[in-house]
Chains A and B, each alone.
Chain A
Amino acid sequence: MSHFSTIRTKIKEKPQLLEALERIGERPNVPFSGMKVVELVITDPDHAEDHPTKEVDVAIGVDSGFKWNQYTETYEFIADKQTWDKNIPIERFLEKLTQQYARMVIHSSIEEKGFVVEEEWEMDDNTIELTAVKWN
C-alpha cells in the first residue's frame, strides 16, 4: 500500500527557516521580541547615494534577508547581486537553504505524528534520503 507524492517546497515557517540558515553556516539576525523587522540597507556601488532600504523579517549580514509576503504566504529572499560576496551563486545558496528547510519541516512534522527517523543519508548527488517509521 502506498502513494507517491511530489511537493514543491516553499519557505513559509520562520523557526525552520532559521534552523536551515544555521545548518548551511549562516548566522541569521533574529529580531528580538517586540521588534518585527530589521532595517536593511542595500547599496549599489554605482549609485551609492541612493541607498535603497528594505525591511526584512530575517536578516543575513547587512545586505540580504527574508521578507514575509502576505500574498504568496512565503518568505521572499532579498539580496543585492552586486554586493553578494558568498562563494556560491545566489541561486545555489537558495537551493541549499531550501533543501535544509524541507529537512527541518519534515523532522518537525513526522515527530508530531509519532514517527521516528529510521535512516537518513546524504547521497553522492546531494539528495537527502530520509526514512521515518512508526510502529503500531
Chain B
Amino acid sequence: MSNAQRIKFTIKQDGNVTEEVIGSSGDTCVSLTKDLEDRLGKLENRVYNSDYYKTLSTVDDSVEEYTHDSEGC
C-alpha cells in the first residue's frame, strides 16, 4: 500500500525552525528527523500528538497495534 511520509517545516524570520512529522509510525518519525535536528542546532522541545503510542493501521487491518517504544510518535 502506498504511503506518504511528510515533514512540514516552518522557518521563522529569525531562523529558528519548527517541524511537524506526519504519517510515520513508531519511532520512525523520530529517527527521520534526529539527524536534521543535530545538524540544525539545538532541539528546544518536542511534542507528541495524542495517538503517541498507536502505530499506523491500514484499511485492511481490523486490529489496532500498539507499540511500547518510548520514542513512539
Residues of A within 8 A of B (CB): 1-10, 12-13, 95, 97-99, 101-103, 105-106, 108-110, 112-113, 115, 118, 125-136
Contacts and interface: CB of A to CB of B under 8 A. Distances in A.
B48 to A, nearest CB: 5
Interface in B13-48: 13-25, 29-30, 32-33, 35-37, 39-48
Contact of B51 (A1, A6, A129): A1
Contacts, number: 158
Contacts of B15: 9, 95, 97-99, 101-102
User: Which has the most chain A C-beta neighbours within 10 Å: B5, B22, B40?
Assistant: B40
Interface of B: 2-25, 29-30, 32-33, 35-37, 39-49, 51, 54-56, 73
A8 B41 contact: yes
6 contacts: A1-B49, A4-B48, A5-B46, A113-B32, A127-B13, A135-B4
